[in-house]
Amino acid sequence: MEIQYYGGNCIKLTTKKAAIVIDDNLKELGASQVAKPTDIQLFTSRITGTAPKAKLTIDGPGEYEVSNVSISGLAVRAHIDEKDMLNATIYTIVADAVRIAVIGHVYPSLNETQLESIGVVDVLIVPVGGHGFTLDTVGALKVIKQIEPKIIIPTQYAVKGLNYPVPAISLDDAIKGLIMEPKETVSKLKIKATDLLGEQAQLIVLEPQK
């Protein structure tokens, strides 16, 4: 599996048989869309406009199987939700024997039932931009400690050329707030299940694709 980052909360997962694009709202941020008509696309919040054409589009909870990929969407409280509202979706994606959890702009308090649904996670993709729009580093750390992944990939930090609706903190400030030294910074993360045998969580920074 390969993992690439495009800014915002937009991630692309490429497996042996599928390409999965998450939160491709890049046109709204002043960049080009990533999703192609042959891709699977996921949104961690409900689509309000017109989504790019795709093989399959998912923007809410449910269980899905497509192209040897298992996708589970879990309804959770959004960062700006009032109590007892569930307007965000956390996705657990299993492909090529790797289990990935994609955290959108959620409220940083997952209950035991939600954590059981998420299960064991190899790679956690989590926003860190803060400023009231999404998780800040304190909230991100709380989610990281609850889920206990093997690899953490931060998203939604400030990226040159993207115009966020709410400013995001810089990557340097995010790393300081997470109190974790990145293991590496790469343009593309290539990962196999056999790479995930270590016990200690690792922070990996993905350079935004241009």
pLDDT band at 199 (very low <50, low <70, confident <90, very high): low
pLDDT band at 201 (very low <50, low <70, confident <90, very high): confident
pLDDT band at 80 (very low <50, low <70, confident <90, very high): confident
Q: Work out the average pLDDT over 102-128.
A: 94
Q: What is the pTM of this model?
A: 0.93
pLDDT at 115 over 80: yes
Q: Work out the average pLDDT over 102-117.
A: 93
pLDDT band at 131 (very low <50, low <70, confident <90, very high): very high
pLDDT band at 47 (very low <50, low <70, confident <90, very high): confident
Q: Three-state SS for 171?
A: helix
**What percent of the chain is predicted at pLDDT more than 90?**
78
pLDDT at 132 over 90: no
Higher pLDDT, residue 84 or 142: 142
The Cα–Cα gap between 54 and 56 comes to 5
pLDDT band at 156 (very low <50, low <70, confident <90, very high): very high
140 within 8 A of 178, measured Cβ to Cβ: yes
pLDDT at 79 over 80: yes
170 within 8 A of 137, measured Cβ to Cβ: no
The Cα–Cα gap between 143 and 135 comes to 9
What is the residue-averaged pLDDT of the chain? 92
- Assigned CATH topology for domain 2-206: Metallo-beta-lactamase; Chain A (3.60.15)
Q: Work out the average pLDDT over 20-39.
A: 92
Instruction: Name every residue whose Cβ is closer than 8 Å to that of residue 12 and which is 6 or more positions away in sequence.
Output: 3, 4, 6, 19, 20, 21, 22, 34
Q: Work out the average pLDDT over 111-130.
A: 95
pLDDT band at 94 (very low <50, low <70, confident <90, very high): very high
Predicted local distance difference test score (pLDDT) of residue 196: 82
